[in-house]
Amino acid sequence: SAPAPRRPIRDLPDELISQIAAGEVVERPASAVRELVDNALDAGATQVTVRLLAGGVRLIAVEDDGAGIPRDELPVALRRHATSKITSLHDLESVATMGFRGEALAAIASVSEMALLSRTALQASAFMLDARSGELRPAARSQGTTVEVKELFFSTPARRKFLKTDATELAHCVEAVRRHALARPDVGFAIWHEGKLVEQWRATLSAEAGADDGAQQQALERRLGDVLGEDFIRDSVPVQLRLGAVTVTGRAGLPDAARSRADQQFCYVNGRFVRDKVLTHAARSAYEDVLHGQKQPVYALYLQIDPLRVDVNVHPTKIEVRFRDSREVHQAVRHAVENALAAPRAQALASIPV
Ligand code: ADP
Ligand code: MG
Q: What is the pLDDT along the chain (354 residues), one digit of tens a residue?
A: 777 889 999 999 988 998 888 888 899 999 999 999 999 999 999 999 999 999 999 999 999 999 999 999 999 999 999 999 999 999 998 888 999 999 999 999 999 999 999 999 999 999 999 999 999 999 999 999 999 999 999 888 888 889 999 999 999 999 999 999 999 999 999 999 999 999 999 998 665 555 677 888 899 999 999 999 999 999 999 999 999 999 999 999 999 999 999 999 999 999 999 999 999 999 999 999 999 888 999 999 999 999 999 999 888 888 889 999 999 999 999 999 999 999 876 666 666 665
Tell whether 175 and 193 lie within a shared domain. yes
Domain total for the chain? 2
Please give the residue range of the domain that contains residue 135. 14-201
Q: Which atom of ligand 1 is nearest to the CA of 97?
A: 2
Q: Is the Cβ atom of 40 under 6 angstroms away from ligand 1?
A: yes
Distance between the two ends of the chain, CA-based, in angstroms?
Answer: 72
Neighbour tally for 140: CB within 10 Å = 9
Ligand 1 nearest atom to the CA of residue 105, by list position: 6
Domain assignment of residue 178, yes or no: yes
The minimum-distance atom of ligand 1 relative to the CA of 67 is: 25
Measured in degrees and rounded to the nearest 5, phi and psi for residue 339 equal -60, -45
- Sheet with 265-269, edge to edge strand ranges: 236-243, 246-253, 299-305, 265-269, 272-273
Domain edge (last residue) among 145, 171, 201:
201
Last residue of a domain, one of 201, 234, 265: 201
Residues with CB under 5 A from ligand 2 (ion): 39, 99, 104
- In short, whether 43's Cβ falls inside 6 Å of ligand 1 is yes
197, 280: one domain: no
Q: Tell me whether residue 8 is in a domain.
A: no
- Radius of gyration in angstroms for the set of CA atoms belonging to the chain, rounded to a whole number: 22
CA 317–ligand 2 middle distance (angstroms): 10
What is d(CA 343, CA 322) in angstroms, rounded to the nearest whole number?
31
Distances, alpha carbon 251 to alpha carbons 206, 217, 232, 340, in Å: 22, 10, 9, 8
CA of 78 to the centre of ligand 1 (A): 8
With a 6 A CB cut-off, is 127 part of the ligand 1 pocket? no
In a shared domain, residues 179 and 240: no
| Distance (Å) from CA 129 to ligand 1 centroid | 14
Alpha carbons 129 and 119: distance in angstroms, whole number? 12
Check if 67 has its Cβ closer than 6 Å to any atom of ligand 1: yes
Do residues 225 and 233 make contact, with C-beta atoms less than 8 angstroms apart? yes
Phi-psi map region of 68: left, alpha, beta (phi>0 left; psi -120 to 50 alpha): left
